[in-house]
Amino acid sequence: MKRVRLIIFNAALGPLDYSVPDDMAVEYGSVVVAPLGPRQIIGIVWEEDRLPGESVAASKLRPIFELLPIPPLRAELRRLIEWTADYYCAPLAAVARMVLSSGGAMRGPTTMTEYRLSGSEPARMTPQRAVAMDALQGEQATIRELAELASVSDGVLRGLVNQGVLEPVEVNIDRAYPKAQADYDEPQLSDDQNTVASRIVDVVEAREFVPFLLDGVTGSGKTETYFEPVAAALRGNRQVLVLLPEIALTEAFLKRFESRFGAAPIVWHSSLKSTERRRAWRAIASGEAQVVVGARSALFLPYASLGLIIVDEAHEISFKQDEGVRYNARDVAVMRARFEKIPVVLASATPALESLQMAESGVYERLELPSRFGGATLPAITTLNLTQSPPERGRWLAPELVEALQDRLTKNEQSLLFLNRRGYAPLTLCRHCGHRFECPNCTAWLVEHRFTSRLACHHCGYDAVLPDACPDCGEADSLVACGPGVERIADEVKEILPEARIAVATSDTLNTPEKAAEFVAQAEGKAIDVIVGTQLVTKGFHFPDLTLVGVVDADLGLEGGDLRAAERTYQQIAQVAGRAGRGSKPGEVLIQTRHPEASVIAALEAGDRDAFYAAETEARRGAGAPPFGRWAAIIVSSEDENEAKEAARAIGGTRPNIRDVMILGPAPAPMALLRGRYRYRLLINARRSAQVQDIIRKWLDTLDFPRGVRVSVDIDPYSFV
């Protein structure tokens, strides 16, 4: 190869051609360093005929600098990158960057220097040094990572290195991982589980593309079931990817995996240390990594020989990325399996309507686990009509729910209260002048967090101390909290059951894998009587003595009015209900609502999932919504309000006129201000068969925008804010 075309890591530039020095052997997929102006840039050698580019005379081509010492990206992965960029209207370079997501993996020595406390004291102790030394007990990482951990500057730590307080440790970053063994501890499966497992095992062995929808009720043992095809892939020396929605909460999964296979899987998520990231990336690319458990970003890693993909809790909306490349990992996982010619399993107790429809139409093969494992029964579900049986003034739990909580505490059983609202109260206002605390960067109220005495924005991370007096009228002691968050519900439980041990489980309280593990251990050890939690507690947990689930406000999710509000409410409540009665004692679920007649609430109470999905399917069909029609969004934003408005108007003014394609807007987005940027939206609704992506590309290609304007396209959007 004398002349090559590269995808270069600059989203603003298209592919560029380079020449290859005589002593360098590159192939398609090779990752190289090339000159770009005075700089160096990373690029991937690509098939010329798949990337239209300007043809430059051979004499004018600049040579590639360097071939990086990693395996070339395989053709299957190159096709996935192309498909993702094309489908989601994203630059190829932006998608390719997700593959090469460990800079350290691509070059450099195989050892690196980390630091840890040596045990000696600095000659001069400063408050910052004391803070750092306290925070770094038992830690070992790079200077930058330690600085972040201790919240001090690099300089403070370098001072400690010079004094010998922090000592360097050479770490071999590519050391081998412990091996998982397919036969380590084979389980006793039920007949249903066996039937499902052997069907997938057959396809793993045959190495065919088959998309499975594993539809099993909560507590049916889906994980144990799909562990058998995982074992089959291990026996065939092929890699497995398991995608999980909340990687911070995988502790329980990791434990089950380790007891089944004798070694932990490789974990991939965004907060890995750079050494762990590099080690995992290289093991994945070399084929040494056997099983990778990860968040959605693990989907784009360069597996050497993938044999199976599992998407667990496949209905979860956290598989949809809402920034950068706006892809849905559940859908891309199916495409990856197709390119790799391997099976993919979408596992859920409450599948997405889109997935069910694919199963109905025969595109996905449906496998069912209709009953709970070990003879446990599904919980009884009752609605509590808050308009007929309201809580006491200033409280949020109805008398029946209070009674049930007391009953469980007497019996020494556990309860779980679910409210999908972090913090103490969603809104704080001044009772004297009516002032409401609003985020300066977003169209959102600030949420009071009483544990930390702060007001926080859940969209941009802004936070401030809760003042003693109103900042508007100056009146002291005039601020009131409106509505409940989980912290407030926990306070109420404390008043009702003073002797109960209560745990609040949210992304604020369980924000590290360690804290999550401690919570699980306490709940399993029955050191907790009542758990009050957000959507974080709706999935994965298995506490056999938990027999009561209370849904504090079932109507909350229905208020947003977005397309999937009813489906999401159904999934959340069915999932959290599924935490009850997983052991030998039967479970009970009490749902507080003001609208017991709403179809989603009625279906939950009747335990009639099919009725809910059937009604929802007809509603979607009528509205031309997915899976029957398609949505796409164009989001225009700028820090300058006028600039955003003008750009949105320019896009709106050049809208194409196409039959069966409806274009709504531009209109200010529901979140008209987000992280300091003013936002406008256009919404496109089209038939399933319409080439929405082509239409949008052609349309936007003709327009130019000022530098400060960002225009992003969201295909199959989940968020309408």
Question: Is residue 177 involved in binding Zn ion (CB under 5 A)?
Answer: no
- The total of other beta-carbon atoms located within 10 Å of residue 265's CB is 23
Rounded to 10°, the helix 222-235/251-261 angle is 50
Q: Residue 473 Cβ, how far from Zn ion at the closest point, in Å?
A: 3
Instruction: Name which of 128 and 452 has its Cβ closer to Zn ion.
Output: 452
- The distance of Cα 443 from the centroid of its chain, to the nearest Å, equals 23
Sketch the per residue contact string, 451 through 470, with Zn ion: x for CB under 5 A, - otherwise.
------x-xx-x-------x
Nearest CA to 303 out of 313, 293, 314, 289 is that of 289
Instruction: Name which of 76 and 472 has its Cβ closer to Zn ion.
Output: 472
Instruction: Name which of 443 and 693 has its Cβ closer to Zn ion.
Output: 443
Sketch the per residue contact string, 334 through 373, with Zn ion: x for CB under 5 A, - otherwise.
----------------------------------------
Pairing of strands 291-294, 239-243: parallel
What's the distance, Cα to Cα, between the start and end of the chain in Å? 49
- The distance of Cα 315 from the centroid of its chain, to the nearest Å, equals 11
Instruction: Name which of 478 and 522 has its Cβ closer to Zn ion.
Output: 478
CA distance 98 to 300: 6
Question: Is residue 244 involved in binding Zn ion (CB under 5 A)?
Answer: no
Instruction: Name which of 116 and 459 has its Cβ closer to Zn ion.
Output: 459
CA distance 547 to 341: 43
- Scanning 108-116, 383-391, 393-401, 442-450 for contacts with Zn ion by CB under 5 A, the matching segment is 442-450
Query: Of the candidates 1, 75, 135, 433, which one interacts with Zn ion according to CB under 5 A?
Result: 433
Nearest CA to 170 out of 110, 214, 117, 93 is that of 110
Query: Of the candidates 256, 273, 338, 432, which one interacts with Zn ion according to CB under 5 A?
Result: 432
- Scanning 18-26, 215-223, 449-457, 502-510 for contacts with Zn ion by CB under 5 A, the matching segment is 449-457
Pairing of strands 306-312, 344-348: parallel
Residues composing the chain? 721
Q: In the chain, how many H helices and how many E strands?
A: 19, 29
DSSP secondary structure string for all residues of 573-626:
HHHHHTTSS-SSS--EEEEEES-TTSHHHHHHHHT-HHHHHHHHHHHHHHHT-T
Q: Residue 446 Cβ, how far from Zn ion at the closest point, in Å?
A: 8
Instruction: Name which of 329 and 425 has its Cβ closer to Zn ion.
Output: 425
CA distance 271 to 253: 18
Question: Is residue 476 involved in binding Zn ion (CB under 5 A)?
Answer: no
Residues touching Zn ion, count (CB under 5 A) = 14
Query: Of the candidates 213, 285, 347, 430, which one interacts with Zn ion according to CB under 5 A?
Result: 430
CA distance 280 to 258: 18
- Scanning 284-292, 440-448, 481-489, 540-548 for contacts with Zn ion by CB under 5 A, the matching segment is 440-448
Instruction: Name which of 452 and 522 has its Cβ closer to Zn ion.
Output: 452
- The kind and range of the H/E element at 95 are helix 92-99
Q: How far is CA 587 from CA 352, 415, 416, 525, in A?
A: 25, 10, 11, 19
Question: Is residue 443 involved in binding Zn ion (CB under 5 A)?
Answer: no
DSSP assigned state of 207 = T
Q: How far is CA 583 from CA 193, 218, 377, 477, 587, in A?
A: 18, 12, 9, 48, 9
- The distance of Cα 363 from the centroid of its chain, to the nearest Å, equals 26
Nearest CA to 18 out of 52, 49, 60 is that of 60
Instruction: Name which of 254 and 460 has its Cβ closer to Zn ion.
Output: 460
Question: Is residue 201 involved in binding Zn ion (CB under 5 A)?
Answer: no
Instruction: Name which of 336 and 449 has its Cβ closer to Zn ion.
Output: 449
CA distance 718 to 47: 34
Query: Of the candidates 472, 524, 605, 639, which one interacts with Zn ion according to CB under 5 A?
Result: 472
- Scanning 87-95, 435-443, 582-590, 640-648 for contacts with Zn ion by CB under 5 A, the matching segment is 435-443
Q: Residue 476 Cβ, how far from Zn ion at the closest point, in Å?
A: 10
Instruction: Name which of 321 and 428 has its Cβ closer to Zn ion.
Output: 428
Sketch the per residue contact string, 558 through 597, with Zn ion: x for CB under 5 A, - otherwise.
----------------------------------------
* φ and ψ of 676, to 5 deg: 80, 5
Q: Residue 465 Cβ, how far from Zn ion at the closest point, in Å?
A: 16
Query: Of the candidates 158, 338, 395, 435, which one interacts with Zn ion according to CB under 5 A?
Result: 435
Instruction: Name which of 476 and 521 has its Cβ closer to Zn ion.
Output: 476
Instruction: Name which of 470 and 686 has its Cβ closer to Zn ion.
Output: 470
Q: Residue 544 Cβ, how far from Zn ion at the closest point, in Å?
A: 41
Q: Residue 298 Cβ, how far from Zn ion at the closest point, in Å?
A: 29
Which structure tokens are listed for 451?
């544990």
- Scanning 76-84, 429-437, 570-578, 632-640 for contacts with Zn ion by CB under 5 A, the matching segment is 429-437
CA distance 420 to 572: 9
Q: Residue 608 Cβ, how far from Zn ion at the closest point, in Å?
A: 40
Q: Residue 641 Cβ, how far from Zn ion at the closest point, in Å?
A: 16
Residue type, position 589, single letter = V
- Scanning 23-31, 437-445, 651-659, 687-695 for contacts with Zn ion by CB under 5 A, the matching segment is 437-445
Contact set for Zn ion, span 647-706 (CB under 5 A): none
The strand pairing partners of 117, in sequence order, are 166
Question: Is residue 442 involved in binding Zn ion (CB under 5 A)?
Answer: yes
Instruction: Name which of 441 and 452 has its Cβ closer to Zn ion.
Output: 441
Instruction: Name which of 432 and 542 has its Cβ closer to Zn ion.
Output: 432
Note the residues at the interface with Zn ion (CB under 5 A).
Answer: 430, 432-433, 435, 439, 441-442, 457, 459-460, 462, 470, 472-473
